């Protein structure tokens, strides 16, 4: 869930850009990279036994919190249960034994960083390597999750140190891109993340959800038992995924993890509806129903957990199905794509009560490597001056060149820059859904060469809108 990408130590609003990043890096300790190759000499095993250090953040000075002696390393197998409990404590929750087993099946131990004080885990930050669709292809990214600091140790800079160490470790391992869902949007801009996708939340009254004239069903919808439906669901997902940047590869284990609910909703049954088209199963909807019979009247709420389709007809049929389930008063969905087709299927789109919110946050760990790992919509070249105080190996000018529909090439440049921005803005634009001109209108990108913004946007832009429906 999105709540796993949070920090109990970081609830203050933070600004984006190099200045915020430099504050975070100054509050940390240990060896810091001083150039493109400086950190590569430190072996991965160093994360298992890093030197202790005293951390005193600005917040701790303001609140007169005592500095702590901190060590950060990866965890061993017999430490995972304590690790999972530390994660949940940051959210004021207690994991069940099954929660801990589910987390362990998902996360590789060598990507689970823990902050220790006096032998106790007080902070966590994990990463799941996973293939993600990027414009024109596939890229293994680091999906950041399980980030938290115990309430007893908040406001001491522990989260900042964990984030810095995670980025350094990622660079050593060859990571190009890290992504996450944030429980609090103010946290991760200070670490160089940019807002790369938006999610749409909808809440529509079932009896006010008539479709536009001309709609005709294109197939049949049937209910299936969850276990029997999973192979068809994953097959549809595998076919949809290459068409939309931001979507990640799922297997049965990851799929089970993403559907797991926390709190009261974990007891609600899930329903799997499969759409049968001419060629077989070409879409699915997964939903749950919270029943309510206020004063004897049915007023239940149906919540769509996931809905994917290979054809416009299957998409329309599946939405029509969930909107017509008997005894429900409302249909809700969280984190739908910004270009959700239902907006154009309803006769009264205002009835959707659509709300736009931040979605996936993206961080370029290796700017040149990441820019060269995706394709571009049009031919062009642009010199970018990138500012990245937290990851100094990214600082400097880079020439981005690409042909239409081809992978790009990024190389060091000495020419005057066409555009100047921080790594946050490049991360926001990386999947093709956020334009640099949008960011420039917000004062976040500087155009030094007339026409460079339009040229860069023509290269970087992509359709459809990026979207990651699965939160780890």
Active site residues: 188, 472
Q: Among candidates 89, 76, 77, which has minimal Cα distance to 4?
A: 89
- Burial, 228: exposed, middle or buried (Cβ in 10 Å; 0-12, 13-18, 19+)? exposed
The three-state secondary structure class of 202 is strand
Contacts with 141 (C-beta within 8 Å, 6 or more apart), sequence order: 129, 130, 131, 132, 175, 176, 177, 178, 179, 248
Question: How far does CA 232 lie from the centroid of its chain?
Answer: 25
**What is the rounded CA–CA span in Å between residue 170 and residue 113?**
12
| b/e burial code for range 28-47 (CB count within 10 A of at least 16 → b) | bbbeebeebeebeebeeebb
**Nearest alpha carbon to residue 367 among 422, 435, 448:** 422
Q: Phi first, then psi: what are they for 193, rounded to 5°? A: -80, 145
Contact (Cβ atoms closer than 8 angstroms) between residue 205 and residue 342: no
Instruction: Give the whole-angstrom CA distance, residue 226 versus residue 207.
Output: 28
Shortest CA distance to 307 belongs to which of 292, 298, 318?
A: 318
Q: Taking a C-beta distance cutoff of 8 angstroms, is the pair 262, 313 a contact?
A: no
Q: Bridge partners of 358?
A: 198
Report the alpha-carbon distance of residue 180 to residue 230 in Å, rounded.
25
Compute φ and ψ for 76, nearest 5 degrees. Answer: -95, 165
Dihedral, CA of residue 359, residue 129, residue 127 and residue 286, to nearest 10: 50
């Amino acid at each position: 869930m999105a709540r796993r990408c949070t920090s109990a130590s970081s609830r203050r609003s933070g600004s984006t850009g190099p200045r915020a990043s430099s504050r975070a890096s100054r509050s940390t300790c240990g060896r810091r990279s001083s150039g493109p190759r400086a950190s590569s000499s430190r072996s991965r095993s160093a994360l298992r036994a890093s030197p202790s250090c005293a951390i005193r953040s600005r917040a701790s000075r303001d609140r007169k919190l005592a500095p702590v002696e901190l060590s950060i390393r990866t965890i061993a197998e017999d430490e995972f249960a304590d690790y999972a409990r530390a994660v949940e404590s940051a959210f004021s929750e207690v994991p069940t034994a099954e929660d801990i087993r589910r987390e362990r099946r998902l996360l590789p131990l060598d990507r689970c960083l823990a902050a220790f004080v006096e032998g106790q885990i007080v902070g966590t930050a994990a990463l799941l390597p996973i293939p993600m669709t990027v414009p024109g292809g596939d890229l293994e990214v680091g999906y950041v999750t399980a980030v938290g600091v115990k309430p007893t140790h908040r406001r001491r800079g522990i989260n900042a140190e964990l984030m810095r160490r995670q980025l350094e470790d990622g660079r050593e391992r060859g990571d190009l891109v890290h992504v996450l869902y944030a429980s609090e949007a103010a946290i991760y801009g200070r670490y160089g993340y940019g807002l790369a996708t938006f999610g749409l939340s909808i809440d529509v009254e079932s009896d006010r959800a008539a479709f536009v004239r001309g709609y005709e069903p294109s197939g049949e919808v049937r209910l299936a038992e969850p276990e029997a439906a999973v192979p068809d669901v994953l097959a549809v997902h595998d076919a949809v995924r290459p068409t939309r940047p931001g979507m990640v590869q799922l297997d049965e284990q990851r799929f089970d993890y993403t559907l797991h609910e926390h709190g009261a909703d974990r007891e609600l049954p899930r329903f799997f509806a499969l759409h049968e088209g001419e060629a077989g199963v070409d879409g699915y909807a997964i939903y749950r129903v919270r029943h309510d019979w206020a004063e004897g009247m049915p007023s239940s709420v149906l919540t769509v957990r996931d809905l994917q389709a290979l054809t416009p007809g299957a998409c329309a049929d599946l939405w029509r199905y969930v909107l017509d389930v008997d005894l429900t008063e409302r249909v809700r969905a969280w984190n739908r794509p910004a270009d959700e087709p239902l907006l154009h299927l309803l006769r009264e789109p205002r009835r959707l009560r659509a709300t736009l919110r931040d979605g996936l946050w993206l961080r370029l760990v290796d700017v040149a490597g990441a820019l060269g790992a995706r394709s571009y919509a049009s031919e062009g070249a642009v010199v970018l001056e990138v500012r990245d105080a937290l990851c100094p190996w990214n600082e400097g000018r880079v020439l981005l060149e690409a042909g239409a529909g081809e992978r790009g090439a990024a190389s060091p440049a000495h020419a005057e820059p066409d555009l100047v921005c921080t790594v946050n803005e490049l991360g926001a634009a990386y999947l093709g859904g956020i334009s640099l001109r949008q960011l420039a209108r917000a004062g976040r990108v500087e155009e030094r060469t007339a026409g460079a913004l339009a040229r860069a946007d023509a290269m970087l832009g992509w359709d459809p809108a990026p979207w990651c429906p699965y939160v780890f």
